[in-house]
Amino acid sequence: MIYNLIVIPVILPIIAAIISIFLRRFIKTQRWIAFGVMIINTGISIYILQLIQREGILRIDFGGWEPPFGILYVADSFSMLLVLTTSIVTAICLLFAFSSIGEHREKMFFYPLVSFLVAGVNASFLTGDLFNLYVNFEIMLLASYVLITLGGTKVQLRESIKYVVINVVSSFLLLLSIAYLYGTVGTLNMAHISERIAEAGQTPLLTVISIFFLFVFSLKAGLLLYFWLPGSYSAPPAAVAALFGALLTKVGIYALFRVFTLIFYHDSAITHTLIGIMAALTLIGGSIGAVAYKDVRQIVSYNVIIAVGFILVGLAVGTPEAIEGSIYYLIHDMIVKALLFLIAGIMVVVSGTARIDEMSGLIRNYPLLGWVFFIAMLSLAGIPPLSGFIGKVLVGQGAVETGAYILLALAFLSSIFVLYSLLRVFLNSFWGETIITVEDEMPMKKGWIIPSVILMIGTIGLGLGPEFIAVYVSDAANTLLNPETYINAVMTD
């Protein structure tokens, strides 16, 4: 089915960004343009999700070039769920940014850059063309390069140069992998590639190329190759860090899921085992990092890495339950990681330090903040009524069914490490003697706490009512596990 509607989540942020560039001095207008676009995107994503339920996978062929010749966008439940979550999380991070990002950053095109970032992220989720995926990655990354340096503090500059260099090199490696794949199968349309590989069989040469893709997307997702992540995610201001933590690694994870379920799914003994090993090492490394540091932003960044490892355990296991669990966990993680980064940012601002051993007794000054942190911690650890639970149960179920006991053990041990690392933050900085006196106490701005509370409600809501998205998640998992559904939707009229 062909619908023009699915291009809206990409085109709207781009138009908003371009208009906002010309409205440089009118910060209020820029704010509401960016925020409004995210709200509209949320509505449209929900509508498209329902449309997919009725009509099947939707697509749009740009310029009327039919696949496999032209570039196209394909909207299935998996990509639309992620677009929906992206829109919601970005809207809330923007709310937080209104009162925290500072006027000098706002005047230097903060809102247009966020819009470009979201356009790149949404386009990466929607595209059905491998080269277009590379271009969309670049749109997203270029916006993120500027966002991470925006403000130009010393820490930001020091960390951003590493972030930019690593990502530029990995982008060229992605181009290299695409070149190899194009040289081998002679097409760039993902459905067409999948079809051709299914016809000719996944030869060892193609498996080698698939491992190229695995390493490239691992660099972007922070799967095993995460060494650049903690430093660069703890440098920018909280609103930007929350956006990065919630969105950027998830695009890499999305690409891994798409490529290894749609294109390279024939030789899972090699590729999926490798993903499993990398996920296991990520879980171990992330867990060690999460308990090793005393900087709250570092601890939170290492929690991102643990989540990446956990989600990819689902892909490595590959049963329908595990894939569903991964999708639930992906959505949960986008919401709750944004929340965690926002809280960490508030903690750093109100206490004037990022070290947890120098903060103390914050719960007496800011009780609501303490409770929100507590809920976020429980949600990340996977305590039942909250949103982390269902994903963990389903991934665990898949791992038990396939007998992947080592992955199972590591995945659940990592949950304990998550709990321990955040409990350490909680005990050190929220409990204990109050060191901020009433006179020195910085008043909690409404603009800081309201976005956090909204995200907290999001995680509780997702935990209590997964039935609302269960239809879409099972459809998404179904499409991922049956590539022919995707191929049929793309290759037939």
Partner 1 sequence: METVITILSGVLVSISTYMILSRSVIRIILGISIFSHGVHLLLLTMGGLKTGSVPLLGRGAESFTDALPQALILTSIVISFAVTALLLVLAYRVYQELGTDNVYDLRGFKDDL
Q: How far is residue 394's CA from residue 417's CA, in Å, rounded to a whole number?
A: 20
Residue 374 as a binder of partner 1 (CB under 8 A): the answer is no
Cβ pair 342, 242 in contact under 8 A: yes
**Region at 63 (left for phi over 0; alpha for psi -120 to 50; beta for the rest):** left
Q: Which position among 3, 32, 180, 420 is part of the footprint of partner 1 (CB under 8 A)?
A: 180
Between residues 135 and 383, which has the closer beta carbon with respect to partner 1?
Answer: 135
The answer to the question of residue 295 lying near partner 1 (CB under 8 A) is yes
* Interaction between residue 231 and partner 1 (CB under 8 A): yes
DSSP 8-state secondary structure symbol assigned to residue 357:
G
Least distance CB 16 / partner 1 (angstroms): 21
Does 354 sit near partner 1 (CB under 8 A)?
Answer: yes
Give the relative orientation of helices 8-22 and 27-55 as an angle to the nearest 10 degrees: 170
Closest separation between CB of residue 202 and partner 1, Å? 19
Identity (one letter) of the amino acid at 147? L
* Residue in 117, 146, 214, 346 binding partner 1, rule: CB under 8 A: 146
301 part of the interface to partner 1, by CB under 8 A: no
Contacts of 270 (CB under 8 A, 6+ apart): 207, 211
> Does residue 188 interact with partner 1 by CB under 8 A?
yes
Q: From residue 138, how far is each of 4, 170, 180, 212, 248 by CA, in Å?
A: 24, 11, 19, 18, 12
Interatomic CA distance for residues 351 and 283, integer angstroms: 31
Binding of partner 1 by 94 (CB under 8 A): no
- Write down the least CB distance from residue 411 to partner 1, Å: 27
**Residue 160 sits in the site that holds partner 1 (CB under 8 A):** yes
Using CA atoms, how far residue 197 sits from 191, 200, 215, 270, 297, in Å, is: 10, 5, 20, 16, 44
- The structure tokens listed for 100 are 């925290």
Binding mask 115-144 for partner 1 (x = CB under 8 A): ----------------x--xx--x---x--
- Asked if 254 is part of the footprint of partner 1 (rule: CB under 8 A), the reply reads no
Instruction: Name which of 38 and 348 has its Cβ closer to partner 1.
Output: 348
Q: DSSP string covering 113-134, please?
A: HHHHHHHHHHHHHHB-BHHHHH
- The answer to the question of residue 294 lying near partner 1 (CB under 8 A) is yes
Residues binding partner 1: what is the number (CB under 8 A)?
A: 37
Using the rule CB under 8 A, is 149 a contact of partner 1?
yes
**Binding stretches for partner 1 (CB under 8 A):** 131, 134-135, 138, 142, 145-146, 149, 152, 154-155, 157-162, 164-165, 168-169, 171-172, 175-176, 178-180, 182-183, 188, 231, 293-295, 354-355
